Amino acid sequence: MPVGRVRDGALDLLKWLALLSMVLDHLRYVGLSLDGLYVPGRLAFPWFCLAIAANLHRVAGTPVTRQWHYVGWLLLFSVISEVPYRMFIEDADTLNVLPTLALGLLVARGWHQKALLDRGLALIAVMIAAVFSTQLMFGFFGVLLPLAMVLVFCRPWYFSILPGAVCVVANQWQALLNSGTFLALSGLTVCMVAPLLGLVLLRHAKNAAPPAMRRWAYSLYPAHFMVLLAVRQVIA
C-alpha cells in the first residue's frame, strides 16, 4: 500500500495490472473454456511480490508502527478471504494467496530492515513456510519470492533471472514441464520473465497516473471471488 502523499504512478499501475492478471486467471473457474488465461495469470503473483519489494523501499525511514500496517492488513484479509476463496475454488488444496504474501513480506522485511525483531520474525516466517509448504499457495519458494525481488530491486535488469527462477520453482515447474503442452511451457516462460517485465514497468512508467490503490484495495481480493462466483451461477 502507498506511503505518504507522493504517489508512485508506476507502482499503482503495477498493482492494477497484477489485479487484472489475477482476475483473468480466476476466470478459468467460472465454467467457460478459458484455459488460455492461465498464461497471463502467471503475472499476478510475481507482480504482487514486486509491489511488496517496492513498498519496502518506499517505507524506509517511516515510523515503525506505520510499517507494520502492511503485515496487519495482509493477515486480516487472509482470514476474511478464506471463506470466499473456498466457495469459489471448491477443490482448493491450499490456503488463499494472502498468507503466502504475508509471510513473504516478513521475510523480505527482515532482510531489508535488519533490526533484531525483524530478523527474528523473518526466521519464524521461513520456518512456517518450510513446515507448511504444501498448505501455502506457491509453497516455500513463493514465500521467498518477495525477498528475491528485494535483492534485485535496484540492480541491473539481468539480475531479474534470480526472482524469475524462484517464480518458476514456486509454480510447480516439474508438473508443468512434464506435461510438455504449449500452454504449460508458455506459463513457465511468463514466470521467468515476469519480474523483468515488472521492473521495466516500475522504472519507465513514472508518468502513469492510474487511480491510487489505497487500503480499500485489500477488499477487492475477497470481493472478486464473490463476483466471479455469482457469474458462475448465472452461467450454470
pLDDT reading at 60 higher than 70: no
Domain range for residue 184?
A: 9-235
**Predicted confidence (pLDDT) per residue in 107-118, tens digit:** 999 998 878 999
Q: Is 164 inside a domain boundary?
A: yes
pLDDT reading at 29 higher than 60: yes
Taken in order 86, 91, 96, 97, the sign of the CA dihedral is negative
Q: Is 4 inside a domain boundary?
A: no
Burial letters 200-231, b for 16+ CB under 10 A, else e: ebbeebeebebeebeeebbeebbebbeebbee
User: How large is the average pLDDT for residues 73-95?
Assistant: 96
Cα three-residue angle 222-228-233, rounded to 5 degrees: 130
pLDDT reading at 63 higher than 60: no
Q: Is 1 inside a domain boundary?
A: no
Q: Is 110 inside a domain boundary?
A: yes
Q: What is the pTM of this model?
A: 0.93
- Specify the pLDDT at position 133: 97
**Could you give the number of structural domains in the chain?**
1
Q: Is 179 inside a domain boundary?
A: yes
Report the candidate in 2, 3, 26 with the shortest Cα–Cα distance to residue 14.
2
Q: Is 2 inside a domain boundary?
A: no
Q: Is 229 inside a domain boundary?
A: yes
**Predicted confidence (pLDDT) per residue in 137-146, tens digit:** 999 999 999 9
Amino acid at 24: L
**Predicted confidence (pLDDT) per residue in 177-214, tens digit:** 777 789 989 999 999 999 999 999 999 998 888 999 98
User: How large is the average pLDDT for residues 51-72?
Assistant: 78
- Specify the pLDDT at position 96: 98
Q: Is 20 inside a domain boundary?
A: yes
Tell me what the pLDDT averaged over the chain comes to. Answer: 91
